[in-house]
């Protein structure tokens, strides 16, 4: 597609439920990043993939968070036993390759609200 | 660990005023620096970036930024702002030798009054 696509755009879930957030990167981009943006804050790095493998997951806040990218394209961020503190906008970005001097393109984000 | 500090959280200017948004980072090694902008209801977009070479970089829409290594700064400037520049601006850094995710500042909410 023309840009990074994230679905759904909005998700409301009850505390304790499981959610999946999807990211469809720009075609041909091998690197994919997930960020979380809380109200009044800048995006916070969660995890990035180079191809199918998670190259750095040091930003995942705890083991309730998990992400996959099985075929090296679409990625899914999975959150188990959601908590109200997980409410945020989850951003996905992709770049041609995972190098520091490569521009990352962001999606519109998924706004997750845990009630 | 890297960190980014944006000094101004809210800035209100009149059209045609000059703009400077401060950004300081903490990291001892080589860095790549970015300014992203988020217009209301839109996704983050790259304004400009510094990787190496001329420390004065020019971006889209008349924005520029100067990398001052001795001050660990990468301030964003525009000589004459327009109402359409109303947006959230984020400074970000990544270590030059790696492929880690970006470290962002908290952002500056810029409002341009017509």
The alpha carbons of chain A give a radius of gyration, in whole angstroms, of: 13
Q: Smallest Cβ distance to A103: which of B6, B46, B106?
A: B46
Q: Which segments in chain B show pLDDT lower than 50?
A: none
For residue B79, give how far its alpha carbon lies from the nearest alpha carbon of chain A (Å): 25
* Residues A104, B43: C-beta atoms closer than 8 Å: no
On whether any CB of chain A is under 8 Å from the CB of B57, the answer is: no
Tell me the CA end-to-end span of chain B in Å, nearest whole number: 41
Residue A95 pLDDT > 80: yes
Residue A56 pLDDT > 60: yes
Per-residue confidence (pLDDT) for residue A102, from 0 to 100 = 78
* DSSP calls for B25-93: EE-SS-EEEEEEEE-TTS--EEEEEE-SS-SEEE-GGG-EEEEEGGGTEEEEEESS--GGG-EEEEEEE
Q: Over the stretch A63-83, which tens digit does the pLDDT of each residue have?
A: 999 999 999 999 999 999 999
Locate B22 and state its tokens.
């401060």
Q: Say which range, A50-54, A88-92, A98-102, has the weakest mean pLDDT.
A: A98-102
For residue A105, give how far its alpha carbon lies from the nearest alpha carbon of chain B (Å): 7
Cβ-Cβ pairs closer than 8 A, A with B, add up to 70
Q: Give the chain B residue whose CA is nearest to the CA of A40.
A: B106
* Residue A39 burial class via C-beta count within 10 angstroms: exposed 0-12, middle 13-18, buried 19 and up: exposed
Task: Check: CB of residue A60 under 8 Å from CB of residue B112.
Answer: no
* Residues A48, B100: C-beta atoms closer than 8 Å: yes
Locate B91 and state its tokens.
């400074």
* Residue A109 burial class via C-beta count within 10 angstroms: exposed 0-12, middle 13-18, buried 19 and up: buried
On whether any CB of chain B is under 8 Å from the CB of A56, the answer is: yes
Per-residue confidence (pLDDT) for residue B99, from 0 to 100 = 62
Residues 6+ apart with CB under 8 A from A65: A46, A77, A78, A79, A80
């Amino acid at each position: 597609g023309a840009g990074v696509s994230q679905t759904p755009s909005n998700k409301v879930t009850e505390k304790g439920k499981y959610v999946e957030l999807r990211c469809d990167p720009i075609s041909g981009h091998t690197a994919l990043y997930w960020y979380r943006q809380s109200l009044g804050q800048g995006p916070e790095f969660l995890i990035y993939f180079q191809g199918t493998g998670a190259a750095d997951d040091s930003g995942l806040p705890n083991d309730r968070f998990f992400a996959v990218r099985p075929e090296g394209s679409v990625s899914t961020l999975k959150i188990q036993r959601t908590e109200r503190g997980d409410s945020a906008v989850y951003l996905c970005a992709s770049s041609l390759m995972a190098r520091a001097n490569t521009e990352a393109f962001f999606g519109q984000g998924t706004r997750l609200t845990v009630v | 660990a890297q960190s980014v500090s944006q000094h101004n959280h809210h800035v209100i200017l009149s059209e045609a005023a000059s703009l400077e948004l401060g950004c300081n980072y903490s990291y001892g090694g080589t860095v790549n620096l970015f300014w992203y902008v988020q217009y209301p209801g839109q996704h983050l977009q790259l304004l400009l970036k510094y990787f190496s070479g001329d420390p004065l970089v020019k971006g889209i829409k008349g924005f520029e930024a100067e990398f001052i290594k001795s001050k660990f700064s990468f301030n964003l400037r525009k000589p004459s702002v327009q109402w359409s520049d109303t947006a959230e601006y984020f400074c970000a850094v990544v270590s030059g030798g790696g492929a880690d995710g970006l470290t962002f500042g908290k952002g500056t909410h810029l409002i341009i009054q017509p």
